[in-house]
Amino acid sequence: MQRVIVVFIACLIQFQGYSKQAFKKIPVSKDIELIQVSENAYVHVSWANFENFGRVPCNGLVYIQNREAFLFDTPATDSMTKELVNYLRDSLKLEIKGFVPNHWHSDCMGGLGYLQSQKIESYASQKTIKLAKSNHLPVPAHGFKDSLQLRLGDKLINCYYFGPAHSLDNIVVWIPSEKILFAGCMVKSMASEDLGNTADGDLVAYPKTIELVLKRFGNARIVIPGHGDSGGTELIRHTLEIVEKHKLP
């Protein structure tokens, strides 16, 4: 019994330590902050104004290995992206090796033009590339169809397209060493009561896509939505519940 108590206390201390680390916030500017979610990963949160939605916090991810980093999603503008990149370079002393957007909207790749000016390689779904071209936006350099595996140091970064949901091209990024799923706007925070902007999405396909994500990443430790607080796989299940309520007849 004593051994059980000791193990429980040790686990509790470890959990508390992780919690403090997980929610460490670093201000970058008045519109950007970093939230550390693991030893090697930060959520970057930027605030931007969107028509019909007002001022909205938008999430992205910075994954780090040995002073090198991959960036997933940018803030909504080149100027905010420049602020974020300058902080990562100057304050955290990181070299940004690549960029992957979740989908084609500005809260995912609105800063791609600036990244391209800095000669940072970009990778995206072929569907995102097609939509970027048709909307006269900066175009990611490298495309993939269903999946893409990248490396940062000796660690893997896996990108997957499971189908339409929030947008026709939305992907997810899985970092197996961290058990972090950057799900983007297809997954909603626990505070969300609806699906938000689905003007460019597919409500018919949405449930199947979310079910595939949940089935594949049921062991995720951290799930990062496009907007709002990160959590665990309860975010994916919560999203599925919202989708089911919004099913078309």
Whether 103 sits among the annotated catalytic residues: the reply is yes
Whether 227 sits among the annotated catalytic residues: the reply is yes
Whether 188 sits among the annotated catalytic residues: the reply is yes
Residue-level length of the chain: 249
Catalytic residue among 59, 159, 197, 238: 197
Whether 246 sits among the annotated catalytic residues: the reply is no
Catalytic residue among 31, 44, 105, 169: 105
Catalytic residue among 73, 78, 159, 166: 166
* Dihedral sign (CA 162, 163, 166, 170): positive
Q: Check: CB of residue 4 under 8 Å from CB of residue 44.
A: no
Catalytic residue among 58, 108, 159, 185: 185
The token pair that represents 247 in the structure block: 């099913």
Whether 44 sits among the annotated catalytic residues: the reply is no
* Dihedral sign (CA 54, 55, 57, 58): positive
Give one DSSP letter per residue of 95-114, joined into a string.
EEEEEE-SSSSHHHHTTHHH
Q: Check: CB of residue 35 under 8 Å from CB of residue 21.
A: no
- Report the candidate in 196, 190, 194 with the shortest Cα–Cα distance to residue 230: 190
Catalytic residue among 78, 107, 108, 169: 107
Whether 197 sits among the annotated catalytic residues: the reply is yes
Catalytic residue among 44, 103, 127, 238: 103
What whole-number distance in Å separates Cα of residue 62 and Cα of residue 145?
23
Whether 142 sits among the annotated catalytic residues: the reply is no
> Which residues carry out catalysis?
103, 105, 107, 166, 185, 188, 197, 227
